[in-house]
Copies of this chain bind each other. A is one copy, B any other.
């Protein structure tokens, strides 16, 4: 898919810049085409963008600072790279430049068990964080599905299944170390739980998609592992019943830890992929955290709401094995869906609306999608009002792509009219620049742009993302 890419020239990377990087980084700098190509793509449906001119494999903050310093000298773009799981084209070298791969910066630097914080390098993945802190009886809840890098999760303001209870990266990053556009190393925030000390640079960097700096260290909040965890699956006669159940759960203030929706077709894809036999109907997949009594109390309230709305087959999974199987299947829904149509790519929507508007937004968009022949999956973090259609397009079909874009456009327009956002957790990247302008208005986008220009005057930090040219 190459049509919606803004037509901006690839900037030339001078040989002197390449030479300087090679001299400084030796074997940590690669221009091998396979390496460049691997760093020039992500999980988005964008293709046909030339790869970056080279890749620096950073081992330390000093490496990142030096790489950015060299790039700054030559006004060459730099694109931070973690594990490559972006869905919005964040990693594509649309204006050329150098990829800075931080995946080798994978050290857990410090666990402050008594403060419920952990400090990591940006290449540490969320599974690695959890493996490191598990023995302390702690966990890091943010779960975007993919085993993404913490740096990347900061950059996109990621969230996922647990956000309904624990918040997003916005709420769970305490402090950062960042290499700025000039190659300077700064720190934002402290390990204190709250602060009123000046502008909130941490929150400015979280969600900035690599356009304001390269994140080189992250301090995260942790949570005590809940004493009791219980998961439940509930099937519904139709989508509306599942969605209305969700709305009531949230409005009643039940502190549900996960509240995930899948439509019947998506359940069927998951069944086939994970060899499960879930009822192929609209479904809520839920998890409750707390004391044993608290979990029972929450679940009883939810079961009552669900039953009132026609929910059936409220089934429990209390063993860790059962739960893991269920959540693994949920996390693999994307792959299950993509495999259901060989050769396809998914164009994923990411709207998020106020909870009371969820049914209106979702049901109308299902109707629109069903009126086309395009296959899709549909699932969502509905407890937050966030859901994803994944339109499964043949990447060579102009017609498929046009249909998907039209459906997405209608969905976003509807979500914005209902007081929502075009992107709940994936970011703007290459794909939602126009939606951002519609959502935020020229004034707010102008303010964002003024900040970008002030902090990155030569536009070298992941240029071509968030802002259209």
Chain B contacts of A194 at CB under 8 A? 157, 159, 163, 168, 170, 352, 384, 386, 421, 424-425
Instruction: Contact check, A115 vs B454: say whether CB atoms are below 8 A apart.
Output: no
Q: How far is the CA of A168 from the CA of B448 in the complex (A)?
A: 24
Contacting pair A207 B201 (CB below 8 A): no
The segment out of A36-44, A178-186, A275-283 that lies at the interface is: A178-186
Cβ of A190 and Cβ of B420 under 8 Å apart?
A: yes
**How many Å lie between the Cα of A426 and that of B198 in the bound state?**
11
Whether A192 contacts B419 in the complex (CB less than 8 A), given A115-B354, A451-B455, comes out as yes
Q: Which of A230-238, A366-374, A394-402, A433-441 contacts B (4 or more CB under 8 A)?
A: A433-441
Report how many copies the assembly holds. Answer: 2
- The verdict on A19 contacting chain B, using a C-beta distance below 8 Å, is no
Task: Flag the segment in A259-267, A291-299, A329-337 that touches B.
Answer: A291-299
CB pair B428–A384 under 8 Å, yes or no, is no
Question: Are B170's CB and A203's CB within 8 A?
Answer: yes
Q: Which of B224, B250, B353 has a CB less than 8 Å from the CB of A253? A: B224
The verdict on A423 contacting B204 (CB below 8 Å), with A115-B356, A116-B251, A117-B354 known, is no
Cα A145 to Cα B293 with chains together (Å): 34
Q: Tell yes or no: A171 within 8 A of B by CB.
A: yes
Instruction: Write the chain B residue with the least CB distance to A432.
Output: B197
Total chain A interface residues with beta-carbon distance under 8 A: 89
A32 at the interface (CB under 8 A from B): no
CA distance A192 to B224 in the complex (A): 28
Which A positions have Cβ atoms within 8 angstroms of B?
Answer: 112, 114-117, 156-159, 163, 167-168, 170-171, 180, 184-188, 190-201, 203-204, 206-208, 212, 223-224, 247, 250-253, 291, 293-294, 297, 350, 352-357, 384-386, 416, 419-428, 432, 435-436, 439-441, 443-448, 450-455, 466
